[in-house]
Amino acid sequence: MSGRTVWFDRGDNRPAGEPGGEFALGNFKGQCRTDEYVAGVAFTGAWAKGKTPDALLCRKLEG
């Protein structure tokens, strides 16, 4: 299976024109498209970054 990585450790990475809105005011966000699902989440272990998510692995929905 293939997919794409959505990095958001330095800024928002959300697809234009997709639903979702502002769901974490003041925080960087990543979002898969509506025809994808989240297959994985990458976290940083860096203390200074608050041990927060940095990226999503998005894969296409089948069917």
15 CB-near residues (< 8 Å, 6+ apart) = 31, 33
Claim: this prediction has a pTM higher than 0.85: no
Q: What is the pLDDT of residue 21?
A: 79
| 17 burial via Cβ count (<10 Å: 0-12, 13-18, 19+) | exposed
Number of domains in the chain: 1
CA-wise closest residue to 2 among 53, 63, 57: 57
pLDDT confidence bin for 59, thresholds 50/70/90: very high
Structural domain of residue 9, as residue ranges? 4-60
Whether the per-residue pLDDT at 1 is higher than 90: the answer is no
Torsion 47-48-49-50 (CA) sign: positive
For residue range 8-40, what is the model confidence (pLDDT) as tens digits? 988 888 888 888 778 888 888 899 999 999 999
Q: What is the pLDDT of residue 6?
A: 94
5 CB-near residues (< 8 Å, 6+ apart) = 42, 55, 56, 57, 58
Whether the per-residue pLDDT at 49 is higher than 70: the answer is no
